[in-house]
Amino acid sequence: MSIIETDAVLHESHRDNHTHRDVNGGWLRPAVFGAMDGLVSNLALMTGVAGGSVSQQTIVITGLAGLAAGAFSMAAGEYTSVASQRELVEAELEVERGELRKHPKDEMAELAALYTSRGVDPLLAHEVARQLSRDPEQALEIHAREELGIDPGDLPSPLVAAVSSFGAFALGALLPVLPYLLGATALWPAVLLALFGLFGCGAVVARVTARSWWFSGLRQLVLGGAAAALTYGLGMLFGVAVGG
């Protein structure tokens, strides 16, 4: 094998072993979080009510009400949170844009000093900063990434965040209600389906973590099951107290 072929193999091997998981989670983290939130909260709500020995109709209405209330609450909260964050970022970008317009040499020197502090030769750092500063929009992007840790072209959308949270929460919260809507008359099918859903969500989370799928699935199943068991017990206690 020639040196060129050996280098090619080594480069390919390095590339294959140097890929990383999406540590930010992208769309997966908020979607799975919303689904698990809907699953756990609605399952706990329904088991808590069922523990009070109420009618099947009351359990179903409680589950549907929990689904609607939780989904709208998640969507509103996510929209407000992301919108506020975006407005803050845009305000800071406007400040930086103004500084680049009024004090371009100072901003260029600041960027050069930043590169120098990271080990770049001062003359080279100054030349890199000078070339990057020729385009105002590129300079803004560089300064935003270096100083604020953000990408001006990749700001989150409040609407997308709200719709995603609504859909994910509603989907998760639907699982405990679904058996009743399909004709079930006991609580156990709802609990069983919800626990399977929790295990599945936990397994999906393993895609953005270093844990194995079965460990993540079991962990979420245990936590969700514990929440449901505790609320069922509290429902029984409250039911006895109110009934007595």
pLDDT at 23: 44
* Residue 14 covered by a domain: no
Q: Judge contact between 112 and 139, C-beta under 8 A.
A: no
Written as six digits, the tokens of 204 are 């999906």
* Residue 131 covered by a domain: yes
Distance (Å, whole) CA 17 – CA 13: 6
CA 193, 194, 197, 198 dihedral sign is negative
* Residue 148 covered by a domain: yes
* Residue 10 covered by a domain: no
Domain of residue 138: give its range.
Answer: 27-47+55-235
86 sits in which H/E element? helix 56-102
Distance (Å, whole) CA 75 – CA 34: 10
pLDDT at 175: 95
Q: How many domains does the chain have?
A: 1
* Residue 16 covered by a domain: no
Mean pLDDT by 10 residues, the chain (244 residues): 50 53 53 87 94 91 96 93 92 91 91 92 93 89 86 86 92 96 93 93 78 88 92 84 54
Query: Among 55, 43, 58, 47, which residue's Cα sits nearest to residue 235?
Result: 47
pLDDT at 3: 47
Whole-model pTM: value is 0.77
Distance (Å, whole) CA 165 – CA 79: 9
* Residue 109 covered by a domain: yes
* Residue 241 covered by a domain: no
Based on its alpha-carbon atoms, the radius of gyration of the chain, rounded to whole angstroms, reads: 26
95 sits in which H/E element? helix 56-102
Cα 33 → chain centroid: 6
* Residue 12 covered by a domain: no
pLDDT at 155: 85
